[in-house]
């Protein structure tokens, strides 16, 4: 018999929480916009790194972090604590400020954030228009998104911890150019990207509220990416995904493991529902099978030089 905790964990896979989209959608949207504020702060202060790697956040043992961000001779760091539900801004000269993560509009979060930054002598300005969203509201004027349920935010954090842990194991199998496992606040997904080493055709762009030159630089080289995404109104379920750019002939018709993985013709990605992973007898192996199988199909059809790009794994 399965036993459920208040967070919806199954006793056999207690570290992989249930994450029903419609139950936590409102918290998801608010948290997404809060991470956009924090991510944009990192963006304006960090030297540009290829493929926008300088903008991403990282999973920690308590939530998400910017990692150290330069500010003159000092650095500062912003951390989401999704266990105690606090946000901490700390500086290299020993100062810090805290914010409580609770029910509040995005605009109020924005105002308090920049008040705290001013108190720390961190004078910053960001573009307040959210990225990669349909019909966005400026962050400093958004009083529509105001829901924060601590339990749902904590569930999402635990899902990120598991995805991050397994994806780092998958990343270790590759010795070619590869991104870190990192969290993109624009698309709100955890991702890791492998590169063949060859340049790619110019990407068409067209991502909502993201300059085409940013997208084209991100896809300047042949890439196979995978990750974890909590879903959307059009696809209301959390999924693991995998795709290749440019997509080689035969890719969409390929068979990959495990059962339940399928090609999504609109996303142009293979997807595996998160629930298939969390409910399996061995979630780690199920997820690794998906990541490895989808990569091998992509690399083989894309004629990647796998002998030079990979190492043996066990």
Band of residue 123 on the pLDDT scale cut at 50, 70, 90: very high
What is the DSSP track for 121-145?
T-------SPSS-SS---GGG--S-
Q: How far is CA 145 from CA 53, 87, 308, in A?
A: 27, 18, 48
Query: Domain locations in the chain?
Result: 21-141, 161-309
pLDDT tens digits, 20-63: 999 999 999 999 999 999 999 999 999 999 999 999 999 999 99
Give the pTM. Answer: 0.94
Per-residue model confidence as pLDDT tens digits over 136-168:
999 999 999 999 999 999 999 999 999 999 999
Residue 137: which residues within 8 A CB-CB, separation 6 or more?
A: 106, 130, 144, 145
Give the DSSP H/E element, type plus range, for residue 181: none
Supply the pLDDT for residue 312: 79
Tens of pLDDT, residue by residue over 214-263, are 999 999 999 999 999 999 999 999 999 999 999 999 999 999 999 999 99
Q: How confident is the model at residue 111 (pLDDT cuts 50, 70, 90)?
A: very high
């Amino acid at each position: 018999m399965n036993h459920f905790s208040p967070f919806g964990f199954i006793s056999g896979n207690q570290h992989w929480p249930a994450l029903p989209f419609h139950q936590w959608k409102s918290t998801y949207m608010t948290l997404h916009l809060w991470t956009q504020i924090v991510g944009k702060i990192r963006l304006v202060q960090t030297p540009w790194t290829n493929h926008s790697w300088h903008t991403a956040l990282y999973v920690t043992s308590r939530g998400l972090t910017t990692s150290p961000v330069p500010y003159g001779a000092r650095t500062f760091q912003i951390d989401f604590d999704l266990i105690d539900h606090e946000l901490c801004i700390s500086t290299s000269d020993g100062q810090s400020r805290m914010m409580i993560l609770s029910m509040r509009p995005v605009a109020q979060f924005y105002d308090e954030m920049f008040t705290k930054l001013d108190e720390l002598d961190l004078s910053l300005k960001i573009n307040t228009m959210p990225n990669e969203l349909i019909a966005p509201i400026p962050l400093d004027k958004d009083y529509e998104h105001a829901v924060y349920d601590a339990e749902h935010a904590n569930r999402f954090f635990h899902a990120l911890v598991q995805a991050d842990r397994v994806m780092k194991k998958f990343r270790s199998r590759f010795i070619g150019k590869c991104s870190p496992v990192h969290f993109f606040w624009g698309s709100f997904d955890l991702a890791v990207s492998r590169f063949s080493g060859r340049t790619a055709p110019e990407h068409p762009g067209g991502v909502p509220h993201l300059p085409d030159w940013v997208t084209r630089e991100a896809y300047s080289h042949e890439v196979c990416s995978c990750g974890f995404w909590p879903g959307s109104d059009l696809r209301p379920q959390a999924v693991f995904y995998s795709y290749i750019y440019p997509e080689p002939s035969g890719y969409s018709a390929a068979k990959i493991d495990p059962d339940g993985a399928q090609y999504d013709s609109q996303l142009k990605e293979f997807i595996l529902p998160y629930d298939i992973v969390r409910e399996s007898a061995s979630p780690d192996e199920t997820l690794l099978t998906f990541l490895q199988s989808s990569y091998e199909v992509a690399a083989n059809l894309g004629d990647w030089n796998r002998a030079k790009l990979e190492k043996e794994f066990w």
